[in-house]
């Protein structure tokens, strides 16, 4: 679809405004024609259109209410303005698909009300945000309003008399874009910020720019306020917000949210400036970002690293990402599978139609989840997220080591933490965030105070806390300066996949290096070796938790459980939110803790000595308002230690079959586990499982090209 | 398939032994012929045969080991003898299906070993049971061994030389049957007992009797040791162990277990004595029992009343019940659906073949779950289980009131307890049992000590405890003498379904009557009115818990939560196993507690006064070995009360949609709730929901034919 060369030249050299086609954001004239032709052919797509129509018809049947902004998030005026942009969006789409004027008329009537209201507004009266919007309490919601309304406006543009358009453009949309870009220093900062709010801002301004043919707005959206592309704008966001592997620094949950404005604006750019080849930009970074996002899942749910709630492929943002990316590159047949198996609707647009059509044609291909290292940082040098999958897909196993940078305001103090999923269940889990989204009585649906205090703290993660303190003493400013170093990530042999990363700044004076070897089959069971080496010249207390999911089955050493009274685990940082449920001293050079989840048993065998203590804890203490879940953990504590290496074997074993009431191998098969050698240069761990002895050696000071680990059975 | 009249006559009048056909227990000659003909036609059935073959081949390839009995449940010799009967069973079936002598030879070789071992055995050396077996620590397992081995023996009977058969019969099977019937007084008692162990005993003796053509054994199995049919035997079990509605007094979980020997023996009887019409006996009680068992489920899982673990349609016992009952009466097309949707295999037999074939023919019909009262007691006069389903199947709602008799040794002290399931989840839950089945380290896989102490106690159920004591003071002997009376069960109007039951003996001097009205739509929400009326001349403390499943969202009155220290809820009966997590005084004439599970909100609004206290508790205190789950409950306590009526409204409301991040109606719509009148003759409750006011009146002293309740909106 190349435009004639002459026009491109003009655009580049003269910024001449060319009358654009409408619609050209979510839909195109060609796409609408195809959809109309396809009606009745693809029942699943017809259902999505029917749903859009139902919503549009419901909007038309309801009185138009455009209230003076008053309430914060979840409140009445907030929800009404949200409803309004959705209503316009649905009606705009239905106008394109049916040509029925009632739909366009509705958008016009609604815009008339906004035209009256908007010029009268100052900052939103709820003073809760440092970026107050006009329609909403924060500009973020104003951006989202404008993105949706731009799509609706685009759909009805040709229906409106020119004088009306001029009025909307000059009195509503241009002032709004102006306000969102430059209404205050804070607004200008957000607009030019390398942050997902900035992406929403650019998408909003850029999309309304396309509708109005306002090249000034488009250029600013693409290249920042100064139009240089160096101090803000969508293109720079594409350069900086994703790592070369398509990883967004806040983690999967927010990558899902951030991807929305990225793909929706990309589609608008592609429709209007196809020669920009936006979907191929930076080695097709958007394609990579969506694919990476899909990779950061287990059973269709995102990894709960950093601030995260349960979300997965079914989320509406993923429908946008999936459909738009597929339409941009029809060779990605695996995206059809995501839509088919997990998503309940299609975009009512060119993109959604393409997906529905090609699924119906039987073109869906499996989306293969793979082992990979997702480097963090725009240059890929801020640590990363190491993902391991079993070479046998039927095993349905995923192991993670998180050695990323802090991850902006939604990051947790969890350097080198691990997660484990198996047989359909989370097994070693990351708490995610403490938040009851959209539930007003729970702290207005926002992050609860215990999110900062507990969920972000180090002790709530499967990594080492030093002296009962969070990493970086829980200071995001300090934490944001550093990232762990990925020392090795080696998946060349799927039978033993290895990752090692270190971090020297999280606890001053303590170097922490964690090495994990995922061994697919050792004496008949899967063993994940976990070598957490701490090096320090001073004595410390080191705590290593394993937050397990399932029923506590056994501990190999006698333990005492709180019976009639239960106290808290400690006073500092996250500790005070944990109940101290049970405690024990090891009675051997190793202890073994076993739990049951679903159809399998899991054990952590860990090396202990006389300075070790063991605890079972559960979250929920000091939680006066029921903000926390009551999740259990097994904790190994090493007291008064300078250098110390935690060596553990995480074992997947046995079978628990309730259908025929048969249990196999409920007991750990790890016969011995010990550290043979441990020094600055290397650690050698020895393990014996079901008569198979093996040694794993990790070297710490090898050149990047040298072999960093060895593994031998004997 | 009637046999000639002459033979029947001989059987009845002369007890002459007639040479029977083989096989005739699980399979028949005709069935085997059909299965052979059908091979390759029904892939799902072929898979079950393939699985049977794999197991048979594995057995043949393994050395035959018949150890001297030594270990208890889960131990090595126990598991070996279990494996052995399964191996013989699989090989017997495969011999019939293939004619390959290696399979029959395996059974023969194995029986030779048992022939050597058995005559040398005394009582099993593990002295843990009052009914020690010889091969196993309890006779129950010996029964199961004999049931399976009888099937195998039957399959290879014609292959064996007569002299071999005579030897097996006289030296192995007859002595074994003799021992199981009469080896001790205890054994004789079990054999004649109205109990599921008795059913296993009769099935074992009767089935080997059929194989050996030993009419004496058959008659005793059918009619008890004295052959009168009045003091034991299978026929009497059919009369007494099920209520007229097919309810087995121990509850769904044990009905599943008990049904196994019932159906497997019934099939053997039917094949050998078709004129007995065993499947039509007592108004087709077996058909009713299986259908009732299937009705006692939610989402394919059994209600967890009494001692229960998670089990459902997939359990192997249900495969037997489903397949055998279908084969007995091909008109039950709904059984095909149970097999098709929930079960992973078919019986490798005539019955399994019929099911697989008819599923393949597309004959499966929906199994409709309905509202019904399942009367308890062989005469139906020992209370009952009241089940309510929503008239809209899409709502997927089930409400239960349990007003049954005690339920033998697996019963709980839970008179008038309720359960609620909605939208795929348990909402108000029954704990079930404390047991880690087949997990040796957890109390040998048996019921844990906390099963008696906590899971059976009244306070662990959604019913009223009086003065912190369990019903009948936790004495099963007393409890077994009584049952509640079902005062009314009325489902004539699916929009408001009502049940009321009372119990006068659970707490001496206190009459308790509970009335539930399941109102499908009141002001747009489902309301279950819960009127728990207590009448007493003395002052008591009444505690009414609601064990909820989900996240605690809010309580309408301020509460205090245990922050740094947590103690137990009380000292008596089950109380000491509960942590006292939070407490409150009501600040109004009603309080409302809201929780969230899945996609919906649930609220309990309850009438309170100055003598009310509120608590949140959680199980897990005084549990030194991690036997309990940590389940939460909301408890309403009424202090120093003589007569008291708890009036609560259990409300299902709102929508929690994480896909589009939208929450609707998270807050209860119950505007007012009060008791208008309350006396010995009736209680009138008034409720207002979303501007709809309604009154519900329950009359307590109406004749059985009179209208017992009224409901009016105004």
* Domain membership flag for residue A15: no
CA distances (Å), origin B174, targets A167, B265, B568, B623:
102, 18, 57, 47
* Domain membership flag for residue A14: no
Confidence label for B74 from pLDDT (cuts 50, 70 and 90): confident
Distance CA(A563)–CA(B576), nearest Å, equals 9
pLDDT in tens, A261-280: 999 999 999 999 999 999 99
What pLDDT is stored for residue B76 in this prediction? 86
Contacts of B596 in chain A (CB under 8 A): 436, 439
Task: Show Cβ contacts of residue A274 under 8 Å, excluding neighbours closer than 6 positions.
Answer: A1, A2, A3
Q: Does B551 touch chain A (CB under 8 A)?
A: yes
Closest CA to B378 of B318, B262, B289: B289
What pLDDT is stored for residue B714 in this prediction? 87
CATH code for the domain of B658:
2.70.98.70
**Residue A173, pLDDT above cutoff 90:** yes
**Residue B202, pLDDT above cutoff 60:** yes
Of B560, B561, B567, the CB nearest to A623: B561
Contacts of B567 in chain A (CB under 8 A): 564-566
* A179, A263: one domain: no
What pLDDT is stored for residue B662 in this prediction? 81
Distance CA(A95)–CA(A345), nearest Å, equals 20
Q: Does B655 touch chain A (CB under 8 A)?
A: no
Q: Which string of b and e fits A375-384 if b means at least 16 CB within 10 Å?
A: bbbbebebbb
Mean pLDDT of B491-514: 97
Confidence label for A571 from pLDDT (cuts 50, 70 and 90): very high
What pLDDT is stored for residue B7 in this prediction? 43
Confidence label for A9 from pLDDT (cuts 50, 70 and 90): very low
DSSP bridge partners of A7: none
Closest CA to A190 of A147, A153, A142: A142
CATH code for the domain of A313:
1.50.10.100
What pLDDT is stored for residue A38 in this prediction? 95
Distance CA(A579)–CA(B304), nearest Å, equals 29
Q: Are strands B301-302 and A692-699 parallel, antiparallel or unpaired?
A: unpaired
* Domain membership flag for residue A287: yes
A254 is an active site residue = yes
For residue A663, the distance in angstroms to the closest alpha carbon of chain B comes to 6
Contacts of B666 in chain A (CB under 8 A): 438-441
Q: Are strands A372-375 and A301-302 parallel, antiparallel or unpaired?
A: unpaired
Task: Say how many CA atoms lie within 13 Å of B395 toward its Cβ.
Answer: 17
Of A565, A594, A618, the CB nearest to B565: A565
Q: Does A80 touch chain B (CB under 8 A)?
A: no
Give A 38-77 residues with CB within 8 A of chain B: 74
Mean pLDDT of B368-374: 97
Q: Does A558 touch chain B (CB under 8 A)?
A: no
CA distances (Å), origin A98, targets A155, A161, A236, A323, A356:
12, 19, 39, 22, 19
* Domain membership flag for residue B366: no
For residue A163, the distance in angstroms to the closest alpha carbon of chain B comes to 36
Closest CA to A530 of A650, A432, A613, A441: A650
Mean pLDDT of chain B: 95
Mean pLDDT of A361-386: 97
User: 3-state class of A483 per DSSP?
Assistant: coil
For residue B127, the distance in angstroms to the closest alpha carbon of chain A comes to 23
Confidence label for B72 from pLDDT (cuts 50, 70 and 90): confident
* A115, A263: one domain: no
Of A316, A552, A565, the CB nearest to B626: A552
Q: Does A664 touch chain B (CB under 8 A)?
A: no
Mean pLDDT of A511-524: 97
Mean pLDDT of A332-350: 97
Strand order in A578-584's β-sheet? A465-466, A540-547, A632-641, A612-619, A578-584, A559-561
Q: Give me the residue label for tokens 């080696």.
A: A490
**Residue B446, pLDDT above cutoff 90:** no
Q: Does A566 touch chain B (CB under 8 A)?
A: yes
Last residue of a domain, one of A369, A394, A410: A369
Whether residue B545 contacts residue B454, with contact meaning beta carbons closer than 8 Å, is answered with no
* B396, B338: one domain: no
Q: Determine the residue among B658, B662, B667 to mutate to test chain A binding: the one whose Cβ has the most chain A Cβ atoms within 10 Å.
A: B658
Q: Is B19 left (phi over 0), alpha (psi -120 to 50) or beta?
A: beta
Mean pLDDT of chain A: 95
**Residue B687, pLDDT above cutoff 60:** yes
Mean pLDDT of B661-680: 94
A195, A197, A410, A471: the catalytic one is: A410
Domain that residue B621 falls in = 372-713
DSSP bridge partners of A594: A554, A603
For residue A402, the distance in angstroms to the closest alpha carbon of chain B comes to 26
CB pairs under 8 A between A and B: 130
Q: Which two tokens stand for residue A447?
A: 């992050």
* A55, A142: one domain: yes
Whether residue B501 contacts residue B487, with contact meaning beta carbons closer than 8 Å, is answered with yes
Q: Do B314 and A659 touch (CB under 8 A)?
A: yes
Distance CA(A239)–CA(A36), nearest Å, equals 38
* B323, B446: one domain: no
**Residue A453, pLDDT above cutoff 50:** yes
**Residue B476, pLDDT above cutoff 50:** yes
Whether residue A180 contacts residue A142, with contact meaning beta carbons closer than 8 Å, is answered with yes
* Domain membership flag for residue B322: yes
Q: Which percentage of chain B shows pLDDT scores above 90?
A: 92
pLDDT in tens, A217-262: 999 999 999 999 999 999 999 999 999 999 999 999 999 999 999 9
* B419, B567: one domain: yes
* Domain membership flag for residue B133: yes
Of A311, A438, A554, the CB nearest to B663: A438
Last residue of a domain, one of B360, B388, B418: B360
A123 CB-contact burial (10 Å; exposed 0-12 / middle 13-18 / buried 19+) = middle
Confidence label for A312 from pLDDT (cuts 50, 70 and 90): very high
Q: Kindly provide the ipTM of the predicted complex, given to two decimals.
A: 0.92
Q: Which two tokens stand for residue A689?
A: 């499982």
* A544, A592: one domain: yes
Contacts of A621 in chain B (CB under 8 A): 562-564, 566
* B228, B356: one domain: yes
What pLDDT is stored for residue A220 in this prediction? 98
What pLDDT is stored for residue B20 in this prediction? 79
What pLDDT is stored for residue B508 in this prediction? 95
Q: Determine the residue among B633, B661, B667 to mutate to test chain A binding: the one whose Cβ has the most chain A Cβ atoms within 10 Å.
A: B661
B124, B410, B471, B540: the catalytic one is: B410
**Residue A56, pLDDT above cutoff 90:** yes
Q: Does B549 touch chain A (CB under 8 A)?
A: no
Contacts of B566 in chain A (CB under 8 A): 565-567, 579, 621
Of B315, B439, B621, the CB nearest to A564: B621
Task: Show Cβ contacts of residue B436 under 8 Å, excluding neighbours closer than 6 positions.
Answer: A551, A553, A596, B442, B443, B445, B448, B627
* B255, B388: one domain: no
pLDDT in tens, A127-142: 878 899 999 999 999 9
What pLDDT is stored for residue B444 in this prediction? 83
pLDDT in tens, A58-116: 999 999 999 999 988 778 899 899 999 999 999 999 999 999 999 999 999 999 999 99
* B424, B553: one domain: yes
* Domain membership flag for residue A1: no
* Domain membership flag for residue A13: no
What pLDDT is stored for residue B19 in this prediction? 61
Concatenate the DSSP letters of all residues of B517-582 into one string.
EEEEEETTEEEEEEEEEEEESS-EEEEEEEEB-SEEEEESS--EE--SEEEBS-SSGGGGGEEEEE
CA distances (Å), origin A165, targets A21, A107, A110, A160, A209:
15, 12, 14, 6, 13
* A135, A51: one domain: yes
A234, A254, A342, A472: the catalytic one is: A254
Give B 336-375 residues with CB within 8 A of chain A: 344
What pLDDT is stored for residue A73 in this prediction? 78
Type and span of the H or E element at A689: strand A682-689
Q: Which two tokens stand for residue A426?
A: 């989370």
Last residue of a domain, one of B301, B331, B360: B360
Q: Is B690 left (phi over 0), alpha (psi -120 to 50) or beta?
A: left
**Residue B17, pLDDT above cutoff 70:** no
Mean pLDDT of A683-705: 96
CA distances (Å), origin A138, targets A71, A186, A188, A442:
11, 11, 14, 20
Confidence label for B711 from pLDDT (cuts 50, 70 and 90): very high
Number of domains composing chain B:
2
For residue A167, the distance in angstroms to the closest alpha carbon of chain B comes to 33
Q: Do A626 and B445 touch (CB under 8 A)?
A: no
What pLDDT is stored for residue A346 in this prediction? 98
A467 CB-contact burial (10 Å; exposed 0-12 / middle 13-18 / buried 19+) = middle
Closest CA to A695 of A713, A677, A679, A683: A713
* B436, B290: one domain: no
Q: Do B618 and A630 touch (CB under 8 A)?
A: yes
**Residue A12, pLDDT above cutoff 50:** no
B234, B254, B431, B487: the catalytic one is: B254
**Residue B474, pLDDT above cutoff 50:** yes
């Amino acid at each position: 679809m190349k435009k004639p060369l002459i026009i491109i030249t003009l655009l580049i050299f003269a910024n001449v405004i060319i009358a654009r086609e409408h619609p050209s954001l979510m839909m195109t004239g060609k796409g609408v024609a195809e959809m109309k032709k396809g009606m009745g052919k693809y029942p699943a797509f017809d259902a999505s259109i029917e749903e859009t129509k139902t919503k549009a018809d419901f909007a038309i049947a309801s009185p138009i209410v455009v209230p003076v902004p008053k309430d914060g998030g979840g409140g009445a005026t907030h929800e009404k303005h949200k409803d309004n942009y959705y209503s316009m969006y649905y009606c705009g789409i239905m106008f394109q698909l049916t040509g029925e004027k009632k739909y366009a008329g509705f958008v016009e009537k609604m815009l008339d009300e906004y035209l009256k209201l908007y010029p009268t507004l100052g900052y939103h009266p709820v003073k809760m945000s440092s970026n107050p919007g006009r329609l909403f309490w924060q500009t973020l919601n104003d951006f989202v309003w404008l993105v949706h309304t731009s799509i609706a406006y685009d759909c009805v543009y040709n229906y409106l008399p020119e004088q009306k358009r001029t009025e909307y453009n000059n009195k509503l949309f241009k002032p709004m874009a102006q306000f969102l870009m430059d209404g205050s220093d804070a607004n200008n900062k957000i607009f030019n910020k390398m942050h997902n709010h900035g992406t929403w801002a650019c998408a909003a301004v850029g999309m309304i720019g396309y509708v109005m043919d306002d090249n000034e707005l488009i250029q600013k959206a693409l290249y920042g306020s100064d139009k240089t592309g160096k101090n803000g704008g969508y293109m720079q966001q594409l350069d900086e917000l994703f790592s070369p592997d398509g990883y967004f620094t806040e983690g999967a949950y927010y990558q899902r949210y951030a991807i929305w404005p990225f793909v929706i604006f990309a589609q608008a750019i592609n429709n209007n400036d196809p020669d920009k080849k936006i979907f191929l930009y930076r080695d097709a970074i958007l394609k990579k970002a969506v694919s990476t996002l899909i990779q950061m899942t287990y059973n269709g749910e995102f990894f709960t690293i950093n601030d995260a709630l349960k979300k997965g492929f079914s989320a509406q943002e993923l429908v946008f990402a999936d459909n738009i990316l597929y339409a941009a590159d029809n060779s990605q047949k695996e995206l059809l599978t995501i839509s088919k198996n997990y998503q309940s609707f299609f975009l009512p647009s060119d993109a959604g139609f393409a997906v529905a059509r090609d699924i119906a044609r039987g073109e869906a291909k499996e989306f293969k989840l793979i082992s990979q290292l997702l480097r963090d940082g725009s240059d890929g040098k801020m640590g990363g997220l190491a993902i391991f999958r079993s070479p046998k897909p039927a095993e349905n196993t995923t192991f993670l080591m998180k050695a990323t940078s802090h991850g902006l305001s939604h990051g947790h103090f969890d350097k080198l933490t691990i997660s484990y999923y198996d047989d359909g269940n989370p097994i070693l889990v990351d708490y995610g965030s403490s938040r009851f989204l959209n539930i007003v009585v729970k702290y207005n649906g926002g992050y609860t105070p215990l999110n900062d205090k507990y969920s972000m703290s180090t002790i709530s993660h499967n990594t080492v806390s030093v002296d009962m303190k969070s990493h970086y003493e829980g200071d995001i400013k300090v934490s944001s300066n550093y990232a762990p170093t990925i020392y090795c990530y080696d998946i060349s042999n799927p039978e033993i996949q290895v990752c090692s990363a270190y971090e020297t700044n999280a606890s001053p004076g303590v170097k922490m290096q964690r090495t994990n070897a995922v061994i697919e089959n050792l004496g008949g069971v899967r063993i994940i070796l976990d070598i957490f080496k701490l090096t320090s010249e001073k004595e410390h207390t080191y705590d290593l938790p394993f937050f397990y999911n399932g029923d506590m089955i056994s501990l190999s050493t006698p333990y005492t459980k709180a019976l009639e009274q239960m106290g808290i685990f400690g006073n500092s940082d996250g500790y005070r939110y944990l109940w101290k449920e049970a405690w024990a001293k090891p009675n051997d050079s190793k202890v073994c803790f076993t739990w049951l989840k679903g159809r399998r048993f899991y054990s952590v065998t860990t090396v202990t000595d006389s300075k070790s203590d063991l605890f079972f804890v559960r979250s929920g203490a000091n939680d006066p308002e029921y903000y926390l879940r009551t999740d259990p953990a097994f904790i190994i504590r090493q007291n008064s230690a300078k250098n110390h290496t935690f060596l553990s074997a995480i074992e997947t074993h046995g079978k628990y079959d309730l259908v025929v009431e048969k249990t196999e191998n409920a007991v750990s098969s790890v016969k011995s586990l010990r550290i043979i050698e441990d020094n600055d240069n290397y650690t050698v761990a020895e393990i014996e499982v079901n008569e198979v002895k093996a040694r794993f050696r990790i070297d710490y000071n090898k050149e990047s090209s040298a072999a960093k680990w060895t593994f031998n059975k004997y």
